[in-house]
């Protein structure tokens, strides 16, 4: 809920007398003086957002403290959401960086509003795990519109998330495919483990959760520990669907529409492509998608052809014919070096891509199979093995691009560290004038 105090109102009233730049600086000065650092995993209520600063106030039961974040560069955006890099400074002058996801929620569209709330609920329900993106806190901000400052039907939801700088697994695969450089089996094995681990956790919940959109695009690399983290839980569900003789056409149509909206054609399991085959659509579909992802890790190409042709390929897929040892060797390409670790990965691939959902092994069995094979026993980044050290290479390349100086103010031509920037802004606001735009405000 919005938490406004009398002090806030007086500041707002006074700032109306200032120019837009002076108003922003006055608000920034006020929030800096009030800033206190609080613990993680808090539930926040929206406080204010002005001039590239997000101020969250902790709920009363958590103590009512504040966290202040400087908004940095835009990291990405989708249909209803935008992700920003934000900076929080500490009393010792150091800073921490996070990602903030801003989602526009249309309360007049119950389906869209429920989907947003559902994703947050799923993330909060899962215990911390090294292969899951961490949700640190959430808040809601009603949008004001119309006469008299009435709230509109739109609302902004903010998700404060762990920042993973390494980019997505999909980006890595695109780069390697362009170079025609297959990934070493040691790297593929560890990546497969990172992809399977969060699925084991989700599938083991009291009501098993299916992610429903497992694919390389939804795994991002943490520079903190070099692990891939699963993200985007908008499609996650504990619901299953099984066609039977009494199932209505409406029920089939409703499930088909949900599958169309919440999954990616290339990674859909056979039971999702033909509901009337009578197999349960549930957690086994994640295992199939894991196999399609493993295929791309091994061969740097899609398994089921061009867009629009996937369904027929999925329904007619025969692993015995498409994934024979000779086929796999050919798909790796002539540039691939001899690699003794590929055998178990090919076995995992064929197991994941079992056409029958009921015969497909669970993710936990696949992990056990990988662990017992010894494929994970080697060093994390073998010396001199470029493919094996891909985690460090990718994270390092993208970290450098993220750590450019923040947008400067007042026409400054040299980098300003975060604490210096705030002191400069505060001094300017105390003089009641700002000579430059604050360039990192939200668009």
- Could you tell me which residues are annotated as the binding site for ATP? 101
Q: Which residues line the annotated binding site?
A: 101
Rounded distance between C-alpha atoms, residue 405 and residue 400, angstroms: 11
Q: CA-CA-CA-CA torsion for 81, 85, 91, 94, nearest 10 degrees?
A: 160
Residue 356: partners with Cβ closer than 8 Å, 6 or more residues away: 270, 279
Q: Which of 332, 331, 374, 325 is nearest to 347 (CA)?
A: 325
User: What are the φ/ψ torsions at residue 357 (nearest 5 degrees)?
Assistant: -60, -40
Give me the long-range contacts of 34-40 (CB less than 8 A, separation at least 24).
34/66, 35/66, 35/67, 35/68, 36/65, 36/66, 37/65, 37/67, 37/88, 37/90, 37/91, 38/62, 38/63, 38/65, 38/66, 38/67, 40/136, 40/137
Return the half-sphere exposure (C-beta side, CA atoms, 13 A cut-off) of residue 109.
11
Rounded distance between C-alpha atoms, residue 338 and residue 193, angstroms: 22
Q: Which of 3, 7, 213, 327 is catalytic?
A: 213
Rounded distance between C-alpha atoms, residue 235 and residue 138, angstroms: 19
Phi-psi region of 411 (alpha: psi -120 to 50; beta: other; left: phi over 0): left
User: What are the φ/ψ torsions at residue 324 (nearest 5 degrees)?
Assistant: -70, 160
Q: Is 13 a catalytic residue?
A: no
Helix (H, G, I), strand (E, B) or coil at 161: strand
Q: Are strands 135-144 and 53-58 parallel, antiparallel or unpaired?
A: unpaired
Residue 72: partners with Cβ closer than 8 Å, 6 or more residues away: 84, 85, 86, 87, 97, 406, 407, 440
Helix (H, G, I), strand (E, B) or coil at 132: strand
Residues identified as active-site:
213
């Amino acid at each position: 809920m919005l938490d406004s105090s009398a002090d806030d109102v007086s500041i707002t009233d006074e700032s109306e007398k200032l120019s837009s730049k002076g108003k922003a600086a006055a608000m920034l000065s006020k929030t800096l003086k009030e800033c206190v650092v609080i613990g993680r995993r808090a539930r926040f209520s929206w406080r204010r957002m002005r001039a590239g600063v997000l101020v969250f106030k902790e709920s009363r039961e958590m103590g009512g403290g504040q966290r202040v974040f400087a908004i940095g560069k835009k990291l990405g955006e989708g249909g209803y959401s935008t992700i920003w890099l934000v900076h929080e400074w500490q009393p010792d002058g150091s800073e921490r960086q996070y990602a903030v996801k801003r989602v526009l929620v249309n309360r007049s569209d119950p389906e869209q509003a429920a989907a947003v709330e559902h994703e947050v609920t799923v993330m909060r329900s899962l215990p911390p795990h090294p292969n899951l993106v961490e949700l640190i806190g959430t808040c809601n901000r009603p949008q004001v519109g119309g006469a008299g400052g009435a709230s509109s039907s739109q609302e902004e939801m903010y998700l404060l998330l762990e920042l993973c700088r390494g980019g997505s697994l999909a980006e890595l695969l695109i780069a390697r495919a362009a170079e025609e450089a297959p990934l070493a089996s040691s790297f593929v094995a560890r990546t497969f483990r990172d992809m399977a681990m969060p699925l084991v956790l989700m599938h083991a919940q009291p009501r098993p959760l299916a992610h429903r959109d497992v694919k390389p695009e939804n795994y991002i690399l943490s520079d903190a520990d070099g692990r891939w983290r699963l993200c985007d839980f908008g499609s996650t569900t504990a619901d299953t669907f099984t066609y039977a003789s009494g199932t209505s056409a409406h029920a089939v149509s409703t499930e088909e529409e949900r599958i169309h909206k919440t999954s990616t054609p290339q990674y859909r399991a056979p039971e999702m492509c033909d509901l009337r085959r009578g197999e349960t659509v549930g957690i086994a579909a994640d295992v199939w998608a894991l196999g399609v992802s493993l295929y791309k890790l091994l061969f740097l190409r899609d398994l089921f052809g061009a867009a629009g042709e996937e369904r027929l390929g999925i329904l007619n897929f025969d692993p015995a014919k498409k994934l024979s040892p000779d086929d796999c060797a050919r798909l790796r390409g002539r540039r691939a070096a001899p690699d003794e670790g590929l055998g178990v990965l090919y076995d995992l691939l064929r197991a994941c891509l079992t056409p029958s959902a009921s015969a497909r092994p669970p993710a936990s069995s696949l992990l056990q199979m990988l662990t017992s094979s010894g494929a994970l026993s080697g060093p994390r980044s073998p010396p001199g093995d470029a493919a094996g050290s891909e985690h460090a290479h990718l994270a390092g390349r993208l970290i450098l691009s993220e750590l450019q100086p923040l947008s400067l103010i007042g026409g400054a031509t040299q980098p300003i560290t975060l604490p210096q920037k705030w002191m400069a802004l505060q001094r300017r606001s105390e003089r009641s004038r700002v000579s430059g735009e604050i360039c990192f405000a939200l668009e």
